[in-house]
A = this chain, B = another copy of it.
Amino acid sequence: MFRVTKAPLDVPRLLRAVGDPRAGATVVFLGTTRRENAGRAVVRLEYEAYASMATAEMRRLAAAAARRWPLRKVAIVHRIGPVPVGEASVAVVVSAGHRAEAFAACHWLIDRVKEIVPIWKKEHFRGGEAWIGLQRAAAARRRAARRGRR
């Protein structure tokens, strides 16, 4: 199961999607926006996706993980639209024969999802709003500039 959805994440459904009689281990990652982010009181979040490419990238990442580790099944789902603070916006679920692979693949997948899958977060906080990717890129440029000056 690879999708972007406006609905709250349904973890039991995701677990059924990765169910497999040869799976001894299932690892689930859920990402949630914290109420405080970088010192700002986050009120609301909104996610936008390039939906068709996002699900295509999720499938490609799952296929890459399955080449790297012996996995049974993978599911990746990301919410889009408004997400209340405290509710999960992304789930990565991996089943495998053994737990070391399930942990390693799940961790690798969420790292790659955050780098690669075309989804953007806009934070609405007290006093404003900001697209998060831009900010991170600007912060990275500022850090690079400071390093350059030393």
Contacts and interface: CB of A to CB of B under 8 A. Distances in A.
A66 interface: no
Nearest to A11: B11
A106 interface: yes
Nearest to A9: B15
A15 B22 contact: no
Nearest to A15: B11
Interface size class of A (residues with CB under 8 A): 20 to 34
A19 B86 contact: yes
Given A27-B28, A28-B28, A34 B22 contact: yes
**Interface SS majority for chain A:** mixed
Interface string A5-17: 0000001100100
Contact of A85 (B21, B28, B34, B86): B21
Given A12-B11, A110-B99, A27 B25 contact: no
Given A27-B27, A35-B22, A107 B99 contact: yes
A30 B36 contact: no
5 contacts: A15-B30, A22-B36, A29-B102, A99-B107, A103-B103
